[in-house]
Amino acid sequence: MSKPFRIGLAGLGTVGAGVVKIIQKNGHLLEKRAGRPIEIAAVSAKDRTRDRGVDLSAYDWVEKTGDLANYKDLDAVVEVIGGSEGPAADLVRASLKNGRHVVTANKALLALHGDELANLADEKGACLMFEAAVAGGVPIIKAMREGLAANEIKSIYGILNGTCNYILTTMRQTGRSFDDVLKEAQAQGYAEADPAFDIDGIDAAHKLCILAAIGFGVKPDFKSLSIEGIRHINTTDIAYATEFGYRIKLLGIARRENGKILQVMEPCLVPIESPMGIIDDVYNAVYVEGDFVETPLFTGKGAGQGPTASSVVSDLIDLARGHRLPAFGIPAKDLKAAVWADPGETVNSYYLRLMVLDRAGVIADVSAILRDKNISIEGLVQRGRDPGQPVPVIITTHETRHADMMAACELIEKLDCCVEKPRAMCIEEL
């Protein structure tokens, strides 16, 4: 029998327990596909007494997680602790320094320290694998790093956070408020007690940062990413978007523009029947455009024990069979510092929601500001009549610069008739 591929597993939460389940249940299948057995030699987590629904008795328990980096006869360390700093980062660095392969689901770590870790892996002859870090069980990292390797990537669009997609879908289907649906998502386990990482777009932005690095051969640069979440979206936005033939999605966009790379995460309106428009509930989707391929859509559940653990084990199979690739598809020394496009210079059509007092001259004042900022109105809707009271006004525009739209919103907000901050969202005709 071939020598087993031995791993140390750090983290026994949802994903870590899922990795154990897969290896225990499908061990014989994994051996055939990897060409050798995959064995868990040691595990480590905070609480040894907790019942995780799996039998851990056959594995050595390592009290200090960091000691897995030096544990005897390991071929790889699996890190599913999470967090961009602290024990997870320390373990990954130490393991790579020791020349051990690392498999991780830690998108924050990769988005903030990916360049450093990729260089360390190359220097020590180790592999840094992270299929599980983006889109759960959807094999988008392998697809971009291998299946689309012959192409120059032009653009990447992604729905990369299942929590946000669930909230927006449920708001549309039920007519309920953002706050109400968020509470439901927390109760069902789709959102954390502190949901900020999800609803403010941070989680999805980490993932976009990783995809952009692979797609464009650049160093991950999370700090250069423009990020906006979905907190401000209300039922009025959902209803009018539907009426106009659109869905609202938290969309990650990375594309080449005039020799630069645009990298933004923001809610957008996309056509209902577009590849992104049809993706509902907790599903993720990634749309990639290359110069010699059509634009394939990769979709599936973006989180959960089964999908994420499945991706972790797929990386282990690759390593066990001797499949080696640089972390971001090319040698780390060849990753370039990107020249990022200024989001303010991008040109799009826009959806604009205003809440203004119903009185004479308001539309004229708003129109004058848009005119002065060279923004052309495509359509305007105001329904109902309530003199002197706040009413919604919905405006769609022809293509205009993002900076001009933001400047117009600032001026409109200063009008004494404006009772809420204006909200603008790009219309992406995918």
Let me know: does 423 contact 232? Beta carbons within 8 Å.
yes
What would the DSSP string read from start to end of 168-206? HHHHHHH---HHHHHHHHHHTTSS-SS-HHHHTSHHHHH
Count of other CB atoms within 10 angstroms of residue 406:
14
**Where does the chain hold its CATH 3.30.360.10 domain(s)?**
140-301
Cα–Cα distance measured from residue 17 to residue 24, given in angstroms and rounded to the nearest whole number: 11
Predicted pLDDT of residue 137: 87
**Where does the chain hold its CATH 3.30.70.260 domain(s)?**
344-427
User: 348 - beta bridge partners?
Assistant: 400
Count of other CB atoms within 10 angstroms of residue 94:
17
Three-state secondary-structure class, residue 132? helix
* Domain 140-301, CATH homologous superfamily name and number: Dihydrodipicolinate Reductase; domain 2 (3.30.360.10)
Structural element, H or E, at residue 165: helix 162-174
pLDDT of 187 higher than 80 = yes
Q: What are phi and psi of 144, to 5 degrees?
A: -75, -40
Average pLDDT, stretch 266-290?
96
pLDDT of 150 higher than 90 = yes
Average pLDDT, stretch 89-118?
98
Predicted pLDDT of residue 247: 98
Write the class of the CATH domain 5-137+307-331.
Answer: alpha beta
pLDDT of 385 higher than 90 = no
Cα–Cα distance measured from residue 282 to residue 302, given in angstroms and rounded to the nearest whole number: 7
- Residue 301's identity, in one-letter code, is K
36-61 pLDDT, tens digit per residue, is: 999 999 999 998 989 999 999 999 99
Count of other CB atoms within 10 angstroms of residue 189:
11
Predicted pLDDT of residue 426: 98
pLDDT of 205 higher than 90 = yes
Cβ-Cβ contacts under 8 Å for 209 (sequence gap 6 or more): 110, 111, 114, 220, 221, 222, 225, 263
Catalytic annotation on 207?
yes
- 3-state SS string for 70-131: HCCCCCEEEECCCCCCCHHHHHHHHHHHCCCEEEECCHHHHHHHHHHHHHHHHHHCCCEECH
Predicted pLDDT of residue 136: 87
Count of other CB atoms within 10 angstroms of residue 263:
28
Average pLDDT, stretch 392-412?
97
pLDDT of 295 higher than 80 = no
**Where does the chain hold its CATH 3.40.50.720 domain(s)?**
5-137+307-331
Token pair listed for 191: 């959102």
Q: What b/e string do you get for 58-80 counting C-beta neighbours within 10 Å, with b at 16 or more?
A: ebeebeebeebbebeebbbbbbb
Predicted pLDDT of residue 386: 77
Fold of 344-427: Alpha-Beta Plaits (3.30.70)
Cα–Cα distance measured from residue 167 to residue 184, given in angstroms and rounded to the nearest whole number: 9
Half-sphere exposure of residue 190: CA atoms within 13 angstroms, side-chain side: 21
Which is higher by pLDDT, 301 or 313?
313
Let me know: does 160 contact 169? Beta carbons within 8 Å.
no
pLDDT of 192 higher than 90 = no
Let me know: does 9 contact 16? Beta carbons within 8 Å.
yes
Q: Catalytic residue among 107, 207, 219, 373, which?
A: 207
Q: How far is CA 123 from CA 127, 260, 329, 349, 428, in A?
A: 10, 29, 15, 46, 42
Cα–Cα distance measured from residue 212 to residue 109, given in angstroms and rounded to the nearest whole number: 15
223-250 pLDDT, tens digit per residue, is: 999 999 999 999 999 999 999 999 999 9
Tokens 């959806």 map to which residue? 351
Q: How far is CA 203 from CA 13, 198, 285, in A?
A: 18, 5, 15
Cα–Cα distance measured from residue 88 to residue 104, given in angstroms and rounded to the nearest whole number: 9
Q: How far is CA 191 from CA 52, 106, 133, 344, 429, in A?
A: 21, 18, 17, 31, 29
pLDDT of 1 higher than 70 = no
Predicted pLDDT of residue 394: 97
Kindly state the DSSP code that residue 412 receives in the 8-state scheme: H
Share of the chain above pLDDT 90, in %: 91
pLDDT of 384 higher than 80 = no
Tokens 């029947």 map to which residue? 273
Cα–Cα distance measured from residue 346 to residue 343, given in angstroms and rounded to the nearest whole number: 5
Cα–Cα distance measured from residue 367 to residue 27, given in angstroms and rounded to the nearest whole number: 66
| Average pLDDT score, the chain | 95
